[in-house]
Amino acid sequence: MKTKRIISIILALVVILCLAACGNTSNAGQTAPAAQENTASAEPAAEPAEPAETVENEAGGNTIGAGFKLPGDLPHKKVAAIGIYSGMELYTQWKKNMETLLEPFNIEIQFIETSTGTELESVVESVCVAGVDGIIAQNYSETGIQIAQEYGVPWVTYCTTVTPETLKILAGYDNFLGVVTEDDVAGAEHCAQSMYDAGCRKVALVGLSRGLSDMMDYRADSFIETFKSLGGEIIAEDYSLMAFNDAIATIAASHPEMDGMFFTMMNDGVFQALTTEGLVGKVKVGCFDFSDSAEDFFDNGMLVFAAGGQSATMNCAFPVLYSYMYDGTYLIPDRTQTVFRDFIEIHNSDEFVNYNEYVRYSPCYTPDELGSMVPGLNPDFTFEEYEQINANFSIEDVMNRAAG
């Protein structure tokens, strides 16, 4: 334990230096408030803006917070974003979006890449010692949340599936604000329906090794259950960690009757393997996640469903964190319940073109729209409206708001 504390202190010094480059670190080393205290900042809040309303724009969609303008005198806050923000396009887009969106909130954000377990917990203690007003994390740890509570630091999790049993435990911590993530079950059900409608009856499933990710397991289980209920048959299942290419070759050789393949995650290597094995024109494909190659496979008719759009989830989780940092409000009143967002669902090349233009490299929300989701700034805003905003997320939703 002593060694762990020393490591935490060393990491804290590094974090302090990083934060000091952009702002004051005067609250480093302050005594942690009691666990049951309201941990929102005591500094004066900006005057709430005029109540916003939801109105229909000319494109036929709903705008978010019509007429709302973010106050220009918001108090300075520090936020630690903990997750993965390099490598995959999704991760780098998260970072780019947040850097763009949070500046008008007077937020100083630090991105910290870490894994789960003791490394995550050491990082959490380090940023708390250094002085931070909130944590927005791609993953979670009960111990990490407990450490953050000791320092009076609120925590929201995004893009991670948490079981109901675990959520009940996490909600026991006053600083845990909830989970905002995509609805993997609904996405998998829609994929199964799309593949069945495309004529698939004998489908092979390829996914991440069981037990490594709840969200991947949900995708697989929901697809299997739905496809079978429609009258289809799952002829093969392969959970070979990330050895998708080998799985494709093996399944193609063993099951010439196969007319469809479902992937719990997708990348360019999978598209290449499908081509190499001569499956173009023989099978239909449905998947979660996609890459630049997707457009070609929509064009040739092989790809009939792809789910994505997770790059905007972190943005929409931010109002949950900011609401509490601003005045102690829980935007999610029942923190044992996950707030689910719809995936962006793509069925053809035209939709993929719109996705690229309006969603892929866009924050999908403006600072004013996010600010209108904070009850302290927009007193008339309700949790029911927040739920609806997340449920409405689609290419059409983004396009309509952009047109408004």
Q: Give pLDDT tens digits for 56-113.
A: 443 344 579 889 999 999 999 999 999 888 766 767 888 888 888 999 999 999 999 8
User: Does any domain span residue 274?
Assistant: yes
Domain total of the chain: 1
For the cut 70, the answer to whether the pLDDT of residue 33 exceeds it is: no
> Among 193-202, 239-248, 250-259, 372-381, which stretch is predicted with the lowest mean pLDDT?
239-248
pLDDT at 24: 32
Report the CATH number at residue 289.
3.40.50.2300
22: tokens are 């952009």
Q: What is the mean pLDDT of residues 191-218?
A: 94
Confidence of residue 241 (pLDDT cuts 50, 70, 90): low
Q: Chain centroid to CA 132: how far?
A: 22
User: Does any domain span residue 385?
Assistant: no
pLDDT at 242: 63
Rounded (to 5) percent helix, strand, coil in the chain = 45, 15, 40
- Residue 58, judged by CB atoms within 10 A of its CB (0-12, 13-18, 19+), counts as exposed
Q: What is the mean pLDDT of residues 105-125?
A: 87
User: Does any domain span residue 144?
Assistant: no
Query: Contact 323/379 with Cβ under 8 angstroms?
Result: no
Q: What is the mean pLDDT of residues 167-172?
A: 97
Quote the percentage of the chain above a pLDDT of 90. 67
pLDDT at 60: 41
User: Considering the entire predicted model, what is its pTM?
Assistant: 0.81
User: Does any domain span residue 210?
Assistant: yes
pLDDT at 194: 98
User: Does any domain span residue 62?
Assistant: no
User: Does any domain span residue 177?
Assistant: no
Give me the domain span that covers residue 220: 184-308
Query: Contact 381/373 with Cβ under 8 angstroms?
Result: yes
DSSP 149: H
